[in-house]
A = this chain, B = another copy of it.
Amino acid sequence: MGFMPVRSWWGWGTIENRVTGSEKTQLLGRVTQFLDGNELREHLPPPVDSLGMSPSRITPPAALAHLASSDPHDRAGHAHGKAFRDVVRNLRGHVKSAPDLIVRPECEADVLRVLDWCSDSSITVIPYGGGSSVVGGVEARFDDDRLVISLDLERLNKVIEVDQKSRAARIQGGVLGPHLSDQLRAHDLTLRHFPQSFEFSSLGGWLATRAGGHYATGPTHIDDFVESLRVVTPTGITESRRLPGSGAGPSHDRLFLGSEGTLGIITEAWMRLQKRPTFRAGASVSFTDFMAATEAVRAISQSGLNPSNCRLLDPMEAFINAGSTAAGGVLVLGFESHDHPQDARLARALELCADFGAEVQPMKSDGPATSADTWKSSFLRMPYQRDVMAAHSIIAETFESACTWDRWPEFYHAVTKSANDAMSELGILGVVTCRFTHVYPDGPAPYFGVYAAGQWDSLLGQWDHIKSAVSEALIKSGGTITHHHAVGRDHRPGYDQQRSNLFASSLRAVKSTLDPAGILNPSVLIDL
């Protein structure tokens, strides 16, 4: 008999994998080390039947009835994404954005039928992949009382065709990370795209939000793995030719990459694949000065060595997530290839680090756990641990950006100061951490964490105050409002400042063409 894990309606992942027992005790113990004063009372999720959701107002057409669900548990689970503020609202029983209906198409023709029906009936459609949005991207947050369906693409989950010679596959948009990996493993291939949300996010979601993968340099963004896209819009289907490269006009695919469900539903994509790496070399490097460490990373990012991992943790991040007390933080370096040894590249990268006062700890795959190993296992558990913290009134959230090197380190100081100032204004104790998730020759992508002792009754407002302050700081300091979390509804104020008005007009013109009734994910990215 198969065992089917149950997805949590209110928090990350599955019920079975939630943080319990000693993991929970240890986590809360660690947190209270630096967040003294937190009340630490656990708030349990309310039963779904106590949420007081209004009954669904939508009856699907008979032909689509078998795809639709108005089950309260299903509706509550589709009310929000998985940001800290989503989890807190769920725990407080605030799910007024629950859609009227979940519709789960089984084929592309179903998607076309749903969009036709909703265009004709003025029903808003929120595209839903794995539901892991942390920017309000899958939430029906509207001022009016419009009818809303959540279009859950989980049944479009197949690898349809594999081209071994070109190392590419035609894949349906709704497939989640692990299921995709399983299907590709049978062909000895991998997409090698591992966002932190991997287990509960979909290919279509990665494409629609321009997801960043786990790797620091080289091909890691989902954008770069796209050979062609097939998109169902309310006006019909648009598809690009499968090509390794083309200079024929502006890129069709780049228009839909990052469109966040506002222009169409990505039902299929031809994706570039790779062989699994067999050669590896890695090291963990400690620094005595964090700004010297960032200069070492700049040298590596401009060297052409292209490490798979080049994850610099600032001292606070290194302490909290890797147990390191290095005064200048820790750099986790890794090189991978399926074709040739990587030792010379690692050696050269370590030479560059030595120029900036680094102390090297080689990684031994059979040896005792190093900082790097500790950090990796912690990485996968983070969203689950975040849920426990939220339930104990601990503010635990992240945000990310990118800036050019000339703006760093002023950027770092301005953003961390804005977070610390915001916590002071709130009169709460907290810490700000930073790591680089990706690095480019022309700048880093810093990823910040905020951990603070909140109060249950004002938790959401406290986080919103901090978020607003840091967003303003990072836009003012020349960064992007998002490097790989997308814009959604939460990042609209920053995005509106960042993008040009004429580009917004251009996007609106495209949306009016492809989605004339304006049913697709309104208020995300642009307003019509």
Contacts and interface: CB of A to CB of B under 8 A. Distances in A.
Interface of A: 163, 165-168, 209-212, 221, 227, 233, 235-252, 254-260, 272, 274-275, 298, 302-305, 337-340, 344-345, 348, 402-406, 438, 440-445, 478-487, 491, 495, 498-503, 505-510, 512-514, 525
A288 B334 CA distance: 40
Contact of A244 (B338, B404, B501, B508): B404
Nearest to A210: B247
B480 A241 contact: yes
B250 A255 contact: yes
B443 A166 contact: yes
B256 A250 contact: yes
B339 A248 contact: no
A505 B510 CA distance: 8
A344 B495 CA distance: 45
Given A167-B442, A235-B502, A258-B248, A304 B402 contact: no
Given A244-B445, A245-B483, 14 more contacts: A209-B247, A240-B499, A240-B500, A247-B482, A247-B484, A248-B481, A248-B486, A248-B495, A248-B498, A249-B525, A275-B302, A304-B338, A502-B514, A509-B509
A236 B500 CA distance: 11
B252 A254 contact: no
Of the candidates A244, A500, A512, the one having the most CB atoms from chain B within 10 angstroms of its own CB is: A244
Nearest to A302: B167
Contact of A442 (B272, B442, B502): B272
Contacts of A246: 402, 480, 482-483
Contacts of A525: 249
20 contacts: A163-B405, A165-B298, A165-B406, A166-B404, A212-B245, A237-B500, A245-B402, A247-B486, A248-B486, A248-B495, A249-B487, A249-B499, A250-B259, A272-B442, A304-B337, A340-B348, A502-B514, A505-B513, A506-B509, A508-B513
Contacts of A507: 249-250
A403 B243 contact: yes
A305 B483 contact: no
A255 B251 CA distance: 7
Nearest to A352: B339
B245 A250 contact: no
A341 to B, nearest CB: 8
Contacts of A486: 247-248
A441 B250 CA distance: 22
B244 A485 contact: no
A506 B255 contact: yes
B337 A243 contact: no
A257 B247 CA distance: 9
A244 B339 contact: no
B255 A503 contact: yes
A243 to B, nearest CB: 5
Contact of A510 (B210, B256, B479, B509): B509
